[in-house]
């Protein structure tokens, strides 16, 4: 699809929840290496709450649906990553506002607001081995696609490719924030758990846009 409409958001969040259900144990195992082992649990709870919230909002504006989904995530998963993910969706929803549909331009704006919101809330910067190291490449890829006039399927595929490369690159970084920072050098060689969440989100959106 070249445009995601307000009536599509319920199906999108259903797909996102399914992704995090399927990757629950993978995220738990990844987080266990340098974290609290709860990432898979909190992300599943966050997206389940978001899915349930937007299920009856198909006629509401796009921005409102994303903002309400983010608010539901914040309440259901008040962990660090749950709060950051919620912030991203609420900031993205704010920039979408009353847009009639999401094409490449709107998707780029959503992810830029998502990344900027998390950078502000988490006080992280590129190279700190956080979700930001994957979010920024996603936003930049979508902005380039928008500048080139690419359709949404092509643009989201390219953004997922950028996310995969960025996620792989996090293995060379040393964690600077959260519990992972306490492991310092031990975090090197591992892909960032938060970055994995971002890659899963854009992967799901790309699949959805290509249906």
The CATH number that applies at residue 178 is 1.25.40.340
Which band of pLDDT confidence, cut at 50, 70 and 90, is reported for residue 134? very high
Which band of pLDDT confidence, cut at 50, 70 and 90, is reported for residue 211? confident
Number of domain units in the chain: 1
Q: What is the pLDDT of residues 101-126, one digit of tens each?
A: 999 999 999 999 999 999 998 787 78
Which residues span the domain enclosing 26?
4-209
DSSP per-residue string spanning 184-196: GGGGTTS--HHHH
CA distances from 208 to 3, 12, 76, 118, 122 (A): 11, 7, 24, 24, 29
Q: Provide the 10 A C-beta neighbour count for residue 24.
A: 16
- 148, 105 in Cβ contact below 8 A? no
CA–CA gap between residue 200 and residue 188 (Å, rounded): 21
**Would the pLDDT of 180 be above 50?**
no
CA distances from 159 to 20, 26, 55, 79, 110 (A): 19, 22, 27, 27, 13
Helix (H) or strand (E) holding 45: helix 39-54
How many CA atoms lie within 13 Å of 63's alpha carbon, on the beta-carbon side?
A: 11
Q: What is the pLDDT of residue 182?
A: 44
Q: What is the pLDDT of residues 185-199, one digit of tens each?
A: 555 657 888 999 999
> Which positions ≥6 away from 161 have C-beta within 8 Å?
141
Residue 135 structure tokens = 């979010």
For the chain, percent of residues with pLDDT exceeding 70 = 91
Q: What is the pLDDT of residue 176?
A: 57
CA–CA gap between residue 11 and residue 32 (Å, rounded): 31
């Amino acid at each position: 699809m070249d445009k995601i409409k307000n009536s599509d958001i319920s199906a999108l969040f259903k797909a996102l929840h399914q992704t995090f259900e399927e990757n629950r144990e993978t995220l738990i195992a990844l987080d266990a290496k340098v974290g609290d082992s709860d990432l898979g649990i909190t992300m599943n709870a966050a997206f389940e709450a978001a899915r349930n919230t937007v299920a009856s909002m198909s006629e509401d504006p796009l921005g409102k649906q994303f903002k309400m989904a983010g608010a539901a995530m914040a309440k259901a998963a008040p962990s660090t990553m749950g709060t950051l993910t919620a912030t991203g969706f609420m900031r993205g929803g704010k920039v979408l506002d009353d847009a009639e549909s999401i094409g490449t331009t709107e998707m780029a704006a959503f992810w830029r607001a998502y990344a900027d919101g998390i950078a502000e809330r988490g006080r992280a910067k590129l190279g700190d081995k956080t979700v930001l190291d994957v979010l920024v490449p996603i936003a930049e890829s979508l902005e380039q696609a928008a500048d080139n006039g690419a359709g949404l399927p092509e643009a989201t595929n390219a953004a997922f490719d950028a996310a995969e490369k960025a996620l792989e690159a996090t293995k060379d970084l040393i964690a600077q924030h959260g519990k992972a920072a306490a492991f310092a050098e031990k975090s090197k060689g591992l892909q960032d758990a938060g970055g994995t969440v971002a890659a899963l989100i854009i992967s799901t959106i790309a699949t959805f846009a290509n249906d």
